[in-house]
Amino acid sequence: MLSVFFFYGGLGVLALRLALGVIFLAHGWPKLRHLQQTAVEFDGLGFKPGRFWGTLVALLESFGGIALILGFYTQTFAVLFALEFIAIVVRKLIKKQPFVGGWELDLLVLTAFLVLALNGGGAYSFDRAFFLGW
User: What pLDDT does 9 receive?
Assistant: 75
What is the residue extent of each domain of the chain?
12-132
Inform me whether the pLDDT recorded for 7 exceeds 90: no
What sign does the dihedral 36-38-44-48 (CA atoms) show? Answer: negative
User: What pLDDT does 31 receive?
Assistant: 97
Q: What is the largest CA-CA distance in the chain?
A: 52
What's the whole-number mean pLDDT along residues 48-62? 97
Count of CB atoms within 10 A of residue 18's CB?
15
Read off the pLDDT band of 119 (50, 70, 90).
Answer: very high
- What is the Cα–Cα distance from 40 to 59, expressed in whole angstroms? 16
Q: Are 81 and 16 in contact (CB under 8 A)?
A: no
User: What pLDDT does 1 receive?
Assistant: 57
Task: Report the predicted TM-score, pTM, of the whole model to 2 decimal places.
Answer: 0.91
More reliable by pLDDT, 1 or 10: 10
